[in-house]
Structure 1
Amino acid sequence: MAVKRKRIKLGDVYAIPLPDGQFAFGRRFKDAGIAIYHHRGKSMEDLPSGENYQFFVGVYDDVLKSGQWPVVDHRHFTHEEEAWPPPKCIMDNLNGECSIYYKGEIRASTQTECEGLEIAAVWDVEHIVDRIMGDDKWQKTL
């Protein structure tokens, strides 16, 4: 049976099936962002009780539209500013320069400003699941 493609809405919470039979959950943010909750559920109904996130990454729209990760909740943002993911770092491997990407804009920065920030990238299903499961092979591609 074909999976019906879904419309993406800010604040939707997706259940992410994990290889160990549990579920992770991710909440859709602006700018192709998804926040992955710390909480792991024994079922899709075992939702996170609060907004405690493990990490934020960019995710391809086709991942969220495919139905592979079902929408299990919707958590409205209280104001527009809250819907933006945190700033991300862009590192130019050729010249070593750093930039910060935030709210769709890029600005020059120092390496110190980038310390601790997520590297700007858009992730596919298997890479997000690997990271949730603690597999660091995704770091080797950065």
Structure 2
Amino acid sequence: MVKNFECGKVVQIPLSNGKFSYGLILSDPLVAFSENSYDVPQSDLGKVFGGKLFKIWVMKDALGKNGWSKVGCIEANQIELSEPKFYKFDLLSKQFSIYTNGNEIPATKEECIELECAAVWSKEHVEERLLALSEGRESKWVSSLSAESRV
């Protein structure tokens, strides 16, 4: 059985505008994505992840047989490996919290503004976000999941 979430594995993501983006598997289901896109496939994969990144949880089907192609591996220590902080929002109580390393602590909306939502992204939603970044516009999924849009 193939391990889709193998730490250090790099995947290439072809975008609908002809550009390429890249993801780096950190753990199951955490993936770091470069905010840069490229006109041609890249061979220096370490350099691809030298700029600004975002880390989100990704559905398993985004990787493997029907997902993004593995194009190489890099040493995972090249990327900040600490578990990111995510925010959660309870629709019933209207309360925010911060989730990291399996722990959840109460938080204010202001503390959550810059954090990613604790959500697992589909392949299509990640591709839309990367496409929006490559075109210099805001992703509809980022704006709909932002802490600012809550309450």
* 1:16 paired residue number: 13
| More displaced stretch, 99-108 vs 125-134 | 99-108
* Superimposed CA distance per residue, residues 76-106 of structure 1 (whole angstroms, 9 cap, x where no aligned partner): 2239x94244201001122211111112332
* Gap regions ≥5 residues in structure 1: none
* 1:53 paired residue number: 52
Counterpart-to-counterpart distance in 2, 1:30 and 1:63: 14
* 2:140 paired residue number: 137
* 1:42 paired residue number: 39
* Gap regions ≥5 residues in structure 2: 133-137, 146-151
How many pairs does the alignment contain? 138
Give the RMSD, CA atoms, in angstroms.
Answer: 2.6
Match of 2:16, SS? coil
* Superimposed CA distance per residue, residues 14-56 of structure 1 (whole angstroms, 9 cap, x where no aligned partner): 1011001111001112351111102222333355514323422
2:35 partner letter: H
Counterpart-to-counterpart distance in 2, 1:70 and 1:27: 12
**TM-score, normalisation: structure 2:** 0.76
* 1:103 paired residue number: 101
Q: Tell me: CA distance 1:96–1:141, structure 2 relative to 1, closer, same or farther (3 Å).
A: same
